[in-house]
């Protein structure tokens, strides 16, 4: 079965074609980052309009690069949420319109399920069951995954998501949007011994996260250095390093706990923040120590993309799931509400 995947939940227009036998046939991506950078963050109305401009050309480009035509598609999957409602509606309307015209099934899929299963597109995919750390701009969650649609939430952020904290720290350090990669780059030049930032909620049991205190700590440190004239390049780099170390350490501690609590030996790390090199390195070390293994998507599929949506859609459409009758665009949609396709 060949499935066209459409991702328009935020600031990336992603399209891909996945074949349940041959694997990923093509994927294309258009990032709106440059457009939103001027405003220091995503402007929802501009995002929707840009998806409208870019989506159809990207669909054509994807089909052309696979050497296929519209009639070769057997089903369409689109991101139905969570995300920006206007942006989601562009993907949903296009998917439903095309599916109706081509008389093929269509399915709205969960964006975070896409991230969660993105490592399945790699050469050595993880087997079920596994623990997943989902770290994106909107989510920080630890999930126990027994199979497709069998997700038990073990812990999540009670306030900011890890990616959101990176983005806010970047603003405090006068770095461009999106902040994660910029903070990570600056942190490379920082002295890890100058500051030690708090590791929130690691001193008590449980698998929840909190990043707002760390954000405040970062702001206070930046303001203090500014007052004393020390917020120079080195000062900013030292703060970036202390911040990154604190986030990474916090995530690593909770992953370790989740593996110990469940006795599972596989850890999937996905979502935009999983592109962070220091996080990957630390998780590699921690899993190796426990005889466990970490799995990641390739870096292009860590952030938003159409391939992960095509993959999830293909699994569910193949199992007979479809929602042809109604367009779906759900800004808030808890992952734990998902069910296996047969249910």
Shortest Å, Cβ 10 to ligand KG4: 6
Is position 137 annotated in a ligand binding site? yes
The answer, yes or no, to whether the previous bond of 178 is cis (omega within 30 of 0) is yes
- Three-state DSSP state, 332: coil
DSSP assigned state of 68: -
DSSP string spanning 69-100? Answer: -GGG--EEEEEEESS-HHHHHHHHHHHHHHHH
Q: Which is nearer to ligand KG4, 181 or 198 (CB)?
A: 181
Q: Is 69 annotated as a binding residue?
A: no
Binding mask 255-284 for Zn ion (x = CB under 5 A): ------------------------------
CB nearer to Zn ion: pick between 167 and 304: 304
Check whether 111 is labelled as a binding-site residue: yes
The answer to whether 276 is annotated as binding is yes
Q: Does 5 bind ligand KG4 (CB under 6 A)?
A: no
Interface pattern 260-289 for ligand KG4 (x via CB under 6 A):
-----------xxx-xx-------------
Rounded to whole angstroms, what are the CA distances from 25 to 16, 65, 199, 310? 8, 8, 42, 10
* Span 302-321, contacts to Zn ion by CB under 5 A: 304
DSSP string, 98-135: HHHHHT--EEEEEHHHHHHHGGGGSSSPPPSSEEEEEE
5 labeled part of a ligand binding site: no
Spatial distance between the Cα atoms of 31 and 12, rounded to a whole number of angstroms: 5
Question: Considering CB distances under 5 to 8 angstroms, the limit depending on partner class, which of ligand KG4, Zn ion, none binds residue 126?
Answer: none
φ and ψ of 146, to 5 deg: -95, -25
Of residues 289 through 318, those in contact with ligand KG4 by CB under 6 A are 303-304
86 is a site residue for ligand KG4 (CB under 6 A):
no
* Residue 113 lies near Zn ion (rule: CB under 5 A): no
In this structure, what token pair is assigned to residue 287? 């899993």
Q: CB of 184: closest distance to ligand KG4 in angstroms? A: 4
Select the residue interacting with ligand KG4 from 105, 119, 126, 137 (CB under 6 A): 137
DSSP class per residue in 6-29: EE-SSSEEEEEEEETTTEEEEEEE
Of 219-227, 241-249, 254-262, 298-306, the segment contacting Zn ion by CB under 5 A is 298-306
Q: Mapping DSSP to helix (H, G, I), strand (E, B) and coil, where does residue 293 land?
A: strand
C-alpha distance across the termini of the chain, in Å: 21
Contact between residue 7 and residue 87 where contact means Cβ atoms under 8 Å apart: no
* Residue positions forming the annotated binding site for Fe cation: 111, 115, 304
Q: Which residues bind ligand KG4 (CB under 6 A)?
A: 10, 136-138, 163-164, 166-167, 178-181, 184, 271-273, 275-276, 303-304
Q: Which residues bind Zn ion (CB under 5 A)?
A: 136, 304
């Amino acid at each position: 079965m060949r499935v066209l995947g459409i991702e328009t939940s935020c600031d990336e227009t992603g399209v891909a074609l996945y074949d349940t036998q041959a694997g990923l046939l093509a994927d294309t991506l258009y990032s709106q980052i440059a457009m939103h950078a001027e405003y220091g963050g995503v402007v929802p109305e501009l995002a929707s309009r840009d998806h409208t401009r870019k989506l159809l050309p990207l669909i054509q480009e994807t089909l052309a690069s696979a050497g296929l035509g519209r009639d070769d598609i057997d089903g369409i999957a689109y991101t139905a949420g969570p995300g920006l409602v206007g942006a989601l509606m562009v993907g949903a309307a296009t998917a439903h319109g095309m599916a109706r015209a081509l008389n093929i099934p269509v399915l709205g899929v969960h964006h975070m399920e896409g991230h969660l299963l993105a490592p399945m597109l790699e050469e050595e995919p993880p087997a079920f069951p596994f623990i997943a750390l989902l770290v994106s701009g909107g989510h920080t969650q630890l999930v126990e995954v027994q199979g497709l649609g069998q997700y038990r939430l073990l812990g999540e952020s009670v306030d900011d998501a890890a990616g959101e904290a990176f983005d806010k720290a970047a603003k405090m350090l006068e770095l461009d949007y999106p902040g994660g990669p910029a903070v990570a780059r600056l942190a490379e030049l920082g002295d890890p011994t100058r500051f030690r930032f708090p590791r929130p909620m690691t001193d008590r049991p449980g698998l929840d996260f909190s990043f707002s205190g760390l954000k405040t700590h970062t702001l206070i440190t930046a303001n203090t250095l500014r007052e004393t004239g020390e917020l120079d390049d080195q000062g900013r780099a030292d703060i970036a390093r202390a911040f990154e170390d604190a986030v990474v350490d916090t995530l690593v501690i909770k992953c370790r706990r989740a593996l110990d609590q469940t006795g599972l030996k596989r850890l999937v790390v996905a979502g935009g923040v999983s592109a962070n090199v220091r996080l990957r390195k630390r998780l590699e070390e921690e899993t190796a120590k426990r005889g466990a293994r970490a799995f990641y998507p390739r870096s292009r599929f860590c952030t938003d993309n159409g391939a992960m949506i095509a993959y999830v859609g293909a699994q569910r459409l193949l199992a007979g799931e479809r929602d042809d009758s109604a367009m779906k665009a759900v800004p808030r949609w808890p992952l734990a509400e998902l069910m296996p396709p047969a249910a």
